[in-house]
Chain A
Amino acid sequence: MFSISSYFSVEYLLILLPLCILLYLMLPKTARRVTLLFFSYAFFWAVSGKLIVYLLAATLTVYAFGLWIGKILDAQKQALAACEKSEKKAVRSRYHTKLLRVVVLAVLLQIGVLLVLKYSPFFSDNLNSLLRILHIQVTLKSPNFAVPIGISFYTLQAASYLIDVYHQKIPADRNLFRFALFISFFPQIMEGPICRYSDTAAQLWDVPKIRWENFVRGSERILYGLMKKTVAADRLNLLIDNVFTTYDAYDGFVICLAAVCYTIQLYMDFSGTMDVVIGTGEIFGIIMPENFRRPFFSRTISEFWTRWHITLGTWFKDYLFYPVSMSKPMKKLTSRSRRRFGNHYGPLVSGSIALFAVWVCNGLWHGSGWHYIVFGLYHFVLILTGSLILPLSIGLAQKLHIDRNHLLYRILQIIRTFLLVCVGELIFRARSLGEAVGMLRKIGTSFTLDSLHSHALFTYGMDQKDYLILLLFLVMIFILSLLQERGVRIRESIAKKGIAVHAAVWIVAILFIVLFGAYGQGYLPVDPIYAKF
């Protein structure tokens, strides 16, 4: 059977995508829509097989609930138009209750499917542990469901659609095919970005003709993503796999190195995938939201999360943080605590409750394991601490006459943030919470540079040549990122150049991948990391 494992696979890049582009080019407008929808479902089938029924069920139920909410809103509008001014409040209240019930039911249904499929083993294992502690002689069977690819991503898209219809930010879509395409569009179904209906639905349905400039621009971005994946992410995989699987055999320095390498790998893999995804969209003239904005230039953890997996962060902010912190009891709490603790610390009281909910959910969204929850809570503590000590650090800097915007100060902040992120990613990558603690303990108790002096470091999955290629590639990425940070619009500048420059870019990129890509004997290609979530 034809199957696809990732956006970097030959089946995707050399078969499915070119075939889709070819058909899209040849067909008229309506048929182009059918082509995109057909290829989206074909892609899902090639990745998840029969589990496509979950995608179909989610699409149909969310579409139907959307229409239901839309119908209630229409009825409310008519009732408001027909009633006296004095009755409007009562009418609004009546419909509000009805609307709330429907939207809560619709969202819970989608989240419920996700919880059952993805978290059943985790919840039943923990329940069994609790029962054992309580000496209750009952053991629950741990169900193990097959999980369709991208469920965590399309569930959040579906939930945001329902909530946006409820808030009347968007109308309920009456066209099932347009809605199905928004949920299933093949470049983004597996790893995001988590798009809002208002971002992509109309663009997708518009199916503009493929323009040469878009094709060039999109394919160059795909090549850039391929470089990140094959040159860096795959090269790092064997070392990371070795250390994280048998960390006991390595000293603290090697574990530190593996944590840094994993942080780089995660960025190269996920942002590289986003380059392929967004590049594919660009070929079809569809602009998808960016998911990364040079995260390793962040000065604080809070800033880091506005630059890393941006669409997930904004989803949690818009659909969890603000609704929780803006609820009536929380608003009262904010108001009271502001009077008591002032403008800075006051909102932190209610804000921290909402922030706690966000980070527990963020951790759980990534996977069913305690180490994922601890990963979330780790960031919660860091962000909260950052906010708590901000006035103190500003005051201290003023007293010591330190310019907080001085380059050196900023560089130190960036390094500190990077190291804190690496610790978080160590917890994230570890196979369990116990192993994460074990690794951190080893860093603290057996940190030696022996492996470096004895050259043993070059036998753990990467040799000298690998380190050199990786270093050069990272320097190249750093220079490009630095230029972008300073406002240089590299892609726009290249886009204006003639065909000779584009041909040179393609040839250099392909040669780079062929010559320096980590494939074949001695390498272990990394599975798409974020597709598992």
Chain B
Amino acid sequence: MEQLYEILEEMNPEVDFHTETALIDDHLLDSLTVLALISELEDAFDITIPAVEIVPANFNSAEAMWDLITRLMEE
């Protein structure tokens, strides 16, 4: 989880990823940032995130992202 926070903070230092729960809904992460983030997550955690998983529910908070990562790591 700490590694995820590091990645997120590097992407956008102006956002508090520990508390924010509407990153996509409030447009704090735009689609190009999401692309960068996915690429980074795939490299860092050795996972493949399919396009179908790119829904607000999976990216609205750091916790949701962590759930997605752990689920994909288990698959």
> In whole Å, how far is B27's beta carbon from the nearest beta carbon of chain A?
5
Check B32 against A335 for contact (C-beta < 8 Å). Answer: no
Cα–Cα distance between A274 and B1 once the two chains are bound (Å): 42
Check A326 against B38 for contact (C-beta < 8 Å). Answer: yes
Chain B, range 7-31, C-beta contacts under 8 Å to A = 10-11, 27, 30-31
Which of A167, A169, A323, A348 contacts B32, CB < 8 Å?
Answer: A348
The residue of chain B having its C-beta at the shortest distance from the C-beta of A358 within the complex is B31
Check A351 against B35 for contact (C-beta < 8 Å). Answer: yes
The residue of chain A having its C-beta at the shortest distance from the C-beta of B39 within the complex is A334
- Interface of A, helix, strand, loop or mixed by DSSP: helix
The residue of chain B having its C-beta at the shortest distance from the C-beta of A345 within the complex is B36
Check B35 against A335 for contact (C-beta < 8 Å). Answer: no
Check A303 against B27 for contact (C-beta < 8 Å). Answer: yes
Which of A326, A338, A346 contacts B54, CB < 8 Å?
Answer: A326
Cα–Cα distance between A326 and B34 once the two chains are bound (Å): 11
> In whole Å, how far is B9's beta carbon from the nearest beta carbon of chain A?
12
The residue of chain A having its C-beta at the shortest distance from the C-beta of B7 within the complex is A343
Check B54 against A351 for contact (C-beta < 8 Å). Answer: no
Check B39 against A351 for contact (C-beta < 8 Å). Answer: no
> In whole Å, how far is B63's beta carbon from the nearest beta carbon of chain A?
22
Cβ contacts A305-333/B at 8 Å (1 or 0 each): 01000000000011001110111000100
Residues of B in contact (CB 8 Å), total 20
Chain A residues with Cβ below 8 Å from B32 are 347-348, 351, 355, 387
Which of A167, A331, A346, A351 contacts B31, CB < 8 Å?
Answer: A351
Decide yes or no: A321 and B31 within 8 Å by CB, A167-B52, A343-B11 being known contacts. Answer: yes
Question: Cβ of A302 < 8 Å from any Cβ of B?
Answer: yes
Cβ contacts A269-303/B at 8 Å (1 or 0 each): 00000000000000000000000000000000011
Question: Cβ of A344 < 8 Å from any Cβ of B?
Answer: yes
Cα–Cα distance between A347 and B43 once the two chains are bound (Å): 14
Cα–Cα distance between A192 and B31 once the two chains are bound (Å): 23
Question: Cβ of A263 < 8 Å from any Cβ of B?
Answer: no
Cα–Cα distance between A335 and B38 once the two chains are bound (Å): 10
Question: Cβ of A110 < 8 Å from any Cβ of B?
Answer: no
Check A326 against B51 for contact (C-beta < 8 Å). Answer: yes
Chosen A-B contacts, 26 in total, with CB atoms closer than 8 Å, are A302-B30, A306-B27, A317-B31, A318-B54, A318-B55, A322-B51, A322-B54, A325-B35, A326-B38, A326-B50, A327-B51, A331-B42, A334-B36, A334-B39, A335-B39, A338-B40, A343-B10, A343-B11, A343-B36, A346-B36, A346-B39, A347-B36, A348-B32, A351-B32, A351-B35, A387-B32
Inter-chain pairs besides A343-B11, A343-B36, 8 sampled, C-beta below 8 Å: A169-B52, A326-B51, A326-B54, A347-B32, A347-B36, A347-B39, A351-B31, A355-B32
Taking Cβ atoms with an 8 Å cutoff, the residues of B that contact A are: 10-11, 27, 30-33, 35-36, 38-40, 42-43, 49-52, 54-55
